[in-house]
Structure 1
Amino acid sequence: MIVDVHTHMLTEDYLDLLRREGGPDYSFRTLPGGGEVIDKCGVPFFTLLPPMWDFDQRIRDMDADGVDVSVISLTSPNAIFPDADLGRRAARLMNDAFAEARTAHPDRLRWFASLPWTDPTAAGEELLRAVALGASGVIAVATVDGTPLTDRAFAPIWAAIDAAGLPVFLHPSVPPGGEALGLGDYNLSPPVGFVFDTTLAISRMLYDGFFDRYPNLHMILAHGGGTLPFLIGRLDICHERIPACAAGTNHRPSHFLDRIYLDSVVYTKGALDLCIETVGADRILFGSDYPHNIGDMKGRLDLLGASAAAHESAAASLFGLPD
């Protein structure tokens, strides 16, 4: 069974809500060749493509490329907005839509719940509601309106996720300060900014004592973990020799690698090999990033090659699917 853990959908109702109320941070503009892109604080990060809201097309594409199950999620901005009420409405809208899609395609779809993280009380309530609707896990965007996920304001949400034993899919957005970093130049956010966002988020968690506090939590990192496979040795040596890096936990970062899964959304064999070397083959999960413009179910499966099915026993166990 081939399970795609990194694959996105949204709805036209969600886009309408974002158009009406997402400003000033989020804005839409037409591309010179047609179609639209969403900007975050002036930095382009999300090109809209029709398959993103066409569930029937998704199933046809899964059939064509040999994918059995997709665990769908709402990409950034997800349900994270300075306006907490907007976040609550966005989360409910999309969780309802994903539950409906799962009902329509019970053998082919699972979903990660979106939460209104800017309102921790409402997020806890929405988590319980989403689980009752059949959510298989939770998606967390790497920062919450600029606030790190390790902030103690979010502790009740993490405690509830940990108690429920739900896997978490950590996904990036345009990192804070993206405009100052010039990520709008050459649209650098997708190729570079996103992996920085993931790297900063997981590095904070590894140094912060986050995984000590939430012992049941397992996390799936998007895009092969950002640069974590390349940097894990550096994180370890800094924990050993720089006191501030060891202030949050006595455990070196690599101690927690058995709590982390990496998806296969990388684009060279060398990168995939490094991911496997870092966490082990049994903690690599197939991901495609479909239907984004750099998403590709067949291409990511081809990169995994003959080992694709072997990697999927972990996904089957994680999401309660038959092997």
Structure 2
Amino acid sequence: MDQITEFIDMHAHYYGGGIVEALEARKARPFLEPAPGGGRQMVAMNGAFPFTEAYFDPEVGLAEMRAGRLTHRLLTFPGALGVDLLPADEIAADISAFNDHLAQLHAQTDGALIGLAGVPLANMALACAELRRIRRDLGLPGVILPSDYFNTLEDLEEMRPLLEAAQEYGCHIMLHPGLKVGAEPPPRPADYVQYRLSAVDLQSSASQVALTVILSDMLELYPDVSFQIVNLGGTLPFIFERLESIARHRNPDAPFPTERLRRLWYDCASLGPRALEAAVKLLGADRIMLGSDYPIFKDDPVTHALEPADLTLEEKALVASGTARALFERLERLRAAKI
């Protein structure tokens, strides 16, 4: 591992750039309020959590990056909060200002911080216009979108205009757990809520999203769009053989297209070495990137996941930064060819 000098965290979240002030002014979820024991808490769709400087102060994040040997980090718009689902006349200007701030952070940190933007999803015309601006004018790599828009083919249809806009300049899209505009959070489990929601249900959701992408026409219609599936594709590295068996026994003329999984990109956020090993065997290290899910999770992904994984040095180098670098270079070539 001493030979690897670049480590790119491709899954982290950021709530600065004016979002704090916007949420302080709100009284309905999502919003910020004083915490009972002091400080502040974020009241989100699935409950409240302590809101510390790690969420909005880039200097705090940079210090933790350096402590964990991370050289670069992809910061995303806080899509899981549902900010991008709010009425466009209420939030569109704040989202644009946040995206401008991400571009400024990239310049101010000599490229150490890379921004994944948000768009106002309640107004598709505005969302498409902002996506074009993100790629054409700001040079940000892409956007984060709520994965509930990709749970089924019917859900996907609502995203067609945005995907067509993404195709114009090439675009990277992280499909992250999140609701659709107007949707209510699903009923909470009766027990063990954190484990059932944040692990079992989330991993299943990531798998559903990946299935929609590879089984639909998305890869053919939007070849210049790269899709990032979080958390190593959910349960896919562990159930792909069952998927193949189902097709072999029930649809022998239509094998399950396992090879299409390698046309997506994945991060290992909040997972460990055993999961990473399984994913590399199925998907290839050239499709997998580091991820921390910072500041929600604070484990250093280099020490926690990559270093102890039973992978070759070449595979570790790809996961550490090689896959992400190749992705960024591809996106810049696409953008440069079209502006």
- What TM-score comes out, normalization by structure 1 length? 0.82
Q: How does 1:6-25 map to 2 (within 5 A)?
A: 6-11=11-16, 13-21=18-26, 23=28, 25=29
2:285 maps to what in 1? Answer: 281
Please point out which of 85, 96, 105 is paired with 1:101. 105
Residues in 1 aligned to 2:233 and 2:90: alpha-carbon distance in whole angstroms: 29
- Indicate whether 1:158 and 2:158 are aligned: no
CA shift in 2, pair 1:97/1:303, >3 Å: farther
CA shift in 2, pair 1:251/1:71, >3 Å: farther
Residues in 2 aligned to 1:48 and 1:170: alpha-carbon distance in whole angstroms: 24
Contact in 1 for aligned 2:226/2:264 (Cα 8 Å): yes
Q: Deviations over 1:231-272 (max 9, x none)?
A: 3334445556668xx9xxx78442421211221225333211
Please point out which of 8, 33, 36 is paired with 1:3. 8
| Structure 1 residue 65, shift from structure 2 partner | 1.7
Q: Deviations over 1:208-252 (max 9, x none)?
A: 332232223321211122222223334445556668xx9xxx784
Please point out which of 172, 181, 194 is paired with 2:177. 172
| Structure 1 residue 285, shift from structure 2 partner | 0.5
Contact in 1 for aligned 2:230/2:267 (Cα 8 Å): yes
Contact in 2 for aligned 1:232/1:253 (Cα 8 Å): no
1:309 maps to what in 2? Answer: 317
1:231 maps to what in 2? Answer: 239
| Structure 1 residue 172, shift from structure 2 partner | 1.2
How many correspondences in the alignment?
313
Residues in 1 aligned to 2:59 and 2:178: alpha-carbon distance in whole angstroms: 27
1:227 is matched by which residue type in structure 2? T
Contact in 2 for aligned 1:150/1:210 (Cα 8 Å): no
| Structure 1 residue 179, shift from structure 2 partner | 4.1
Residues in 1 aligned to 2:198 and 2:22: alpha-carbon distance in whole angstroms: 24
Please point out which of 184, 200, 205 is paired with 2:208. 200
CA shift in 2, pair 1:186/1:28, >3 Å: farther
Residues in 1 aligned to 2:27 and 2:156: alpha-carbon distance in whole angstroms: 24
Residues in 1 aligned to 2:158 and 2:186: alpha-carbon distance in whole angstroms: 26
1:299 maps to what in 2? Answer: 304
Please point out which of 258, 271, 288 is paired with 1:254. 258
Please point out which of 82, 85, 94 is paired with 1:81. 85
CA shift in 2, pair 1:28/1:148, >3 Å: farther
Residues in 1 aligned to 2:27 and 2:212: alpha-carbon distance in whole angstroms: 28
Contact in 1 for aligned 2:30/2:82 (Cα 8 Å): no
CA shift in 2, pair 1:183/1:145, >3 Å: farther
Contact in 1 for aligned 2:271/2:305 (Cα 8 Å): yes
1:123 is matched by which residue type in structure 2? A
The alignment partner of 2:84 has SS state of coil
2:194 maps to what in 1? Answer: 187
| Structure 1 residue 318, shift from structure 2 partner | 0.7
CA shift in 2, pair 1:310/1:213, >3 Å: closer
| Structure 1 residue 144, shift from structure 2 partner | 4.9
Question: How large is the RMSD of aligned CA atoms in angstroms?
Answer: 3.3
The alignment partner of 1:315 has SS state of helix
Contact in 2 for aligned 1:45/1:187 (Cα 8 Å): no
| Structure 1 residue 78, shift from structure 2 partner | 5.4
- Unaligned ranges ≥5, structure 1: none
- Unaligned ranges ≥5, structure 2: 1-5, 331-339
The alignment partner of 2:107 has SS state of helix
Residues in 2 aligned to 1:197 and 1:33: alpha-carbon distance in whole angstroms: 35
Contact in 1 for aligned 2:12/2:73 (Cα 8 Å): yes
Residues in 2 aligned to 1:187 and 1:31: alpha-carbon distance in whole angstroms: 21
The alignment partner of 1:143 has SS state of helix
1:55 maps to what in 2? Answer: 58
The worse-fitting range, judged by mean Cα deviation, of 147-156 and 211-220 is: 147-156
Residues in 2 aligned to 1:149 and 1:116: alpha-carbon distance in whole angstroms: 21
- Indicate whether 1:66 and 2:69 are aligned: yes
- What TM-score comes out, normalization by structure 2 length? 0.79
Residues in 1 aligned to 2:67 and 2:101: alpha-carbon distance in whole angstroms: 24
| Structure 1 residue 279, shift from structure 2 partner | 0.5
Please point out which of 271, 274, 296 is paired with 1:270. 274
Q: Deviations over 1:18-62 (max 9, x none)?
A: 343472x4355636686524331xx22754231121111222222
2:158 is matched by which residue type in structure 1? A
Residues in 2 aligned to 1:302 and 1:271: alpha-carbon distance in whole angstroms: 13
The worse-fitting range, judged by mean Cα deviation, of 96-105 and 299-308 is: 299-308
CA shift in 2, pair 1:286/1:53, >3 Å: same
